[in-house]
Amino acid sequence: MKKSLLIVICFSLVITTFNSCRKHECDNISEDKFLYVLTNNIDSNAVLTYRRNSSDGSLTYLSKTFTGGNGTGLPLMSQGPITISNNKKWIIAVNAASNTISALMITNKGLQLTSTISSNGNKPVSVTCFNNLVYVVNANDHGNVSGYNLSDNGILTAIENGVVTLDTTATNPAQISFLPDGKMLAITLKATNKIIAYKLNDSGTLGEKFSLSSNSPRPYGFAIGQQGNIYVSEAAQSAMSVYNITPTGITSVAGPLLTNQISACWAATTPNGKYIYILNANSNSITGYTINSLTSFTIMQPNGITAMTGLKPLDIAISEYSMFAYVLNYDDQSIRVFNVTSTGELEKTEDKFNLPSGSTGIAVK
């Protein structure tokens, strides 16, 4: 009888623990949580690895891994210069001054460089990865995109006929990203005020192209939402616009929605699909929006200040279970950590200083 009772008690404890994990989405018990920073160093570019505390989001420096290329030492003015593959096994990073990209394997002890290859263009600024397919956008000249296969052991190989010029004039692209199903690529073009998208062919090459003028000038960084929505920061008017991308084209869903701040340049959504955050580079602030539906969005604070950042914020990333937000600040070489509340408010918890000068781009695992 006692043995049976003990089994019941143990089983109950297991169920209670499981339910607790579900409630907190397991973010508070997993140990392999990391944040990665691209140093963009002019002599020897590298990726810094920080371990993330799963209960409060705080950061502890772990290691530095060289990419085999060089950075510019200056802000890239793009979103996505470093990204994590959707299977969480690889980091892909740009080396903007040496016109290369690098693949690094993720381990619990840090990163391991596995491949560095030409970006097939001039000044790579943003990169995206879906399964074994990688695309980079190069910013100089007319701008182009280049595709690669990523092998199981982390070797990048250029796709045959995988390079496409973006336009006949200078485009100054800000970001490239796969949509969640991996069948479409989205790109923002600052110089031509365009949102463009490509279908992916079965071979991994780019197929049909779609283009739409942005709702307000200078479309910058963007975040991926649900059912084809992307949330684009538009710097000139300091606004956010929402566009929908499908295999038949691009449409405007909402916007421009003003942030009431200065220079909206970067964007992130919470993975739970509830909130959007826009970084305002010249007012050192974050503007939050509540996602009411696929077509309805509400600014959290009328003045547009959901939280203040450090000096000159350049990138933002949200943890996998929508618990923490991390903002890279260029001028004071810091990362500011926020707790994301159940109502979308951002509560500052930590500032991590002493990043290398020139650091630009973060990614969270």
Q: Give residue-wise pLDDT tens across range 46-56.
A: 999 999 999 99
Mean pLDDT of 286-297: 97
Residue 8 has pLDDT above 50, yes or no: no
- Give which of 49, 42, 79 is closest to 360, Cα–Cα: 79
The pLDDT of residue 166: 96
Give the model's pLDDT for residue 28: 44
Distance CA 351, CA 229 (A): 32
Q: How far apart are CA 189 and CA 57, in angstroms?
A: 34
| Residue 358 to residue 101: CA distance in whole angstroms | 18
Q: List, as own/partner pairs, every contact residues 322-326 make where C-beta atoms lie below 8 angstroms and the sequence separation is at least 24, other chains included.
A: 322/25, 322/270, 322/271, 322/272, 322/274, 322/275, 323/25, 323/27, 323/28, 323/57, 324/52, 324/57, 324/349, 325/268, 325/277, 325/286, 326/35, 326/57, 326/362, 326/364
pLDDT category at 31 given cuts 50, 70, 90 is: low
Q: Count CB atoms within 10 A of the CB of residue 20.
A: 12
79-127 pLDDT per residue, tens = 999 999 999 999 999 999 999 999 999 988 889 999 999 999 999 999 9
Query: For residue 102, what are its two tokens?
Result: 């690098």
Report yes or no on whether pTM surpasses 0.85: yes
Greater confidence (21 vs 327) lies with 327
Res. 178: pLDDT tops 90: yes
- What's the pLDDT band for 21 if we cut at 50, 70, 90? very low
Three-state DSSP state, 102:
strand
pLDDT at residue 22 in the model: 34
Mean pLDDT of 253-277: 97
Torsional sign, CA 330, 285, 229, 254: negative
Mean pLDDT value of segment 125-130? 98
Q: Is the model's pLDDT at 254 over the cut of 60?
A: yes
Q: What pLDDT was estimated at residue 189?
A: 98
Listed by start position, the domains of the chain span: 26-364
Q: Which CATH number describes the domain made up of 26-364?
A: 2.130.10.10
Q: 214 and 237 in contact (C-beta within 8 Å)?
A: no
Average of per-residue pLDDT values in the chain:
92
What integer pLDDT is reported at residue 108 of this predicted model?
82
